[in-house]
Amino acid sequence: MRAIVTGMGYFTPKTRLSNHDLERMVDTSDEWITARTGIKERRILEKGKGTSYMAVRAARSLLAGRNIPADEIDMIIVATVTPDMPVPATAAFVQREIKASNCGGFDLNGGCAGFVCAFSIASQFIETGKYKKVMVIGADKMSGIIDYEDRNTCVIFGDGAGAVLLEPSEEEDEGVRDFILRLDGSGADMLRVDAGGSLHPATRETVEKKMHYVFQDGKAVFKHAVKGMADVSGRILDENDLSPDDMGLLVPHQANIRIIDAVSKKLDLPSEKVAVNLEKYGNTTAATIPIALAEAYEEGKIEKGDWVVISAFGAGFTWGSALFKWAMDKP
Ligand code: UT7
């Protein structure tokens, strides 16, 4: 039994933060951001709303598109680094709002690779025969943990959510074929939020020292991201006797167009086989892949029978890839 993607949904907030808006906030320019990242604008969720607001809307859109009631969902996994609050899990708010009355669920922090981790775990619930409908959500409100006075980070990140449904298929030749998940804590200092956890609970001092915001050593992360994503994307093809020519679409984490281009080049993939939407949304952390996958499907860039690779790299360092054969008919 294999796990196939049978539905998708996504949500991005209406408010846009353009490069020109950022020019008025920090010492940067549209030219620099466009050339160094490929990003033109990002979406920002209004104050008073948390990550679950977007996750719920992505989930509802998925259910409507698949035309199934929420009580058929067996499991909800939310990949996020920006839960609504430390306790309870954001999955609980999603379950409550969509009224999924027969499911289990939990959150998972895999940084920018969170969706690849959650998707891989979900595929195992299906393959073992334990569950029939597993909803995997990648959702992040990065604007809640970004310092809009720090040009190193505020130009990159944005808010969004994407959801994917996995179900079983008896067809051996479709669905999730493999995944590779990696973790290397020697990179833990290079992308982090220092306070708000058990090590440095919130105090006046942590707030004054801006310890609740994202810190990133961009150059170091960049270098490791190219190497890590190219490695797991190439390896997953090799280990499954596939070549880049056999690939339908690579859906990479959307952090920086230069990372995506370098990975594509290493894999020898032409640009039409690589999903890119970061110019519109920036880096939405766990949400980039499900949003890019859903948009690529809507735009007719994936067809039934295509091999798809998703690949991401982020805080931890954690990174990974998953390989699956697309089983949905055209939208
Ligand atoms: O999703 C999780 C994983 N995260 C990533 O994959 C992000 C990986 N890193 C990156 O995407 C890039 O490193 C950044 C986009 C964050 C930065 O780009 P970069 O080309 O690595 O720039 P840099 O940090 O090496 O800085 C180059 C120059 C510096 O000036 P000097 O020292 O050469 O005079 C920076 O001060 O650009 C300057 N700079 C900026 N200038 C205008 C840095 N940020 C900005 C900015 N606007 N926003």
Categorize the per-residue pLDDT at 218 as very low, low, confident or very high, splitting at 50, 70 and 90.
Answer: very high
User: Of all protein residues, whose CA lies closest to atom 40 belonging to ligand 1?
Assistant: 28
Report the atom number in ligand 1 closest to the C-alpha of 283.
1
CATH topology agreement for domains 3-168 and 175-326: yes
Using the Cα atoms of residue 270, residue 271, residue 273 and residue 274 in order, give the sign of their dihedral: positive
User: How many A from CA of 83 to the centre of ligand 1?
Assistant: 27
Each residue's pLDDT tens digit, 284-294:
999 999 999 99
297, 308 in Cβ contact below 8 A?
no
Ligand 1 proximity of 152 Cβ (cutoff 6 Å): yes
User: How many A from CA of 219 to the centre of ligand 1?
Assistant: 7
40, 22 in Cβ contact below 8 A?
no
Tell whether the model's pLDDT for residue 229 goes beyond 90. yes
User: Of all protein residues, whose CA lies closest to atom 13 belonging to ligand 1?
Assistant: 218
Q: Which of 17, 40, 216, 219 to mutate to test the pocket of ligand 1 (most atoms within 8 A of CB)?
A: 219
Tell whether the model's pLDDT for residue 226 goes beyond 90. yes
Ligand 1 proximity of 37 Cβ (cutoff 6 Å): yes
The rounded distance, in Å, linking the Cα atoms of 37 and 252 is: 14
Question: Which CATH superfamily groups domain 175-326?
Answer: Thiolase/Chalcone synthase (3.40.47.10)
Each residue's pLDDT tens digit, 124-149:
999 999 999 999 999 999 999 999 99
Q: CA 43 from chain center: how many Å?
A: 15
Report the atom number in ligand 1 closest to the C-alpha of 253.
1
pTM higher than the cut 0.85: yes
Report the atom number in ligand 1 closest to the C-alpha of 154.
48
Ligand 1 proximity of 36 Cβ (cutoff 6 Å): yes
Tell whether the model's pLDDT for residue 236 goes beyond 90. yes
206: left (phi over 0), alpha (psi -120 to 50) or beta: alpha
| Interacting residues of 291 by C-beta distance below 8 A, sequence separation 6+ | 10, 12, 138, 160, 161, 162, 277, 281, 284
pLDDT of 89 reads: 98
**Which residues are known to be catalytic?**
112, 253, 283
Between these two residues, 128 and 331, which has the higher pLDDT value? 128
Ligand 1 proximity of 157 Cβ (cutoff 6 Å): no
Instruction: Give the residues across from 283 on adjacent strands.
Output: 157
Categorize the per-residue pLDDT at 16 as very low, low, confident or very high, splitting at 50, 70 and 90.
Answer: very high
| Interacting residues of 3 by C-beta distance below 8 A, sequence separation 6+ | 122, 123, 126, 127, 134, 166, 167, 168, 169, 175, 176, 324
Categorize the per-residue pLDDT at 170 as very low, low, confident or very high, splitting at 50, 70 and 90.
Answer: confident
Ligand 1 proximity of 283 Cβ (cutoff 6 Å): yes
Domain edges within the chain:
3-168, 175-326
Exposed / middle / buried, residue 94 (Cβ in 10 Å: 0-12, 13-18, 19+): buried
User: How many A from CA of 214 to the centre of ligand 1?
Assistant: 14
Exposed / middle / buried, residue 194 (Cβ in 10 Å: 0-12, 13-18, 19+): middle
User: Of all protein residues, whose CA lies closest to atom 39 belonging to ligand 1?
Assistant: 152
User: Of all protein residues, whose CA lies closest to atom 35 belonging to ligand 1?
Assistant: 152
Ligand 1 proximity of 225 Cβ (cutoff 6 Å): yes
Q: Does domain 3-168 have CATH number 3.30.1370.160?
A: no
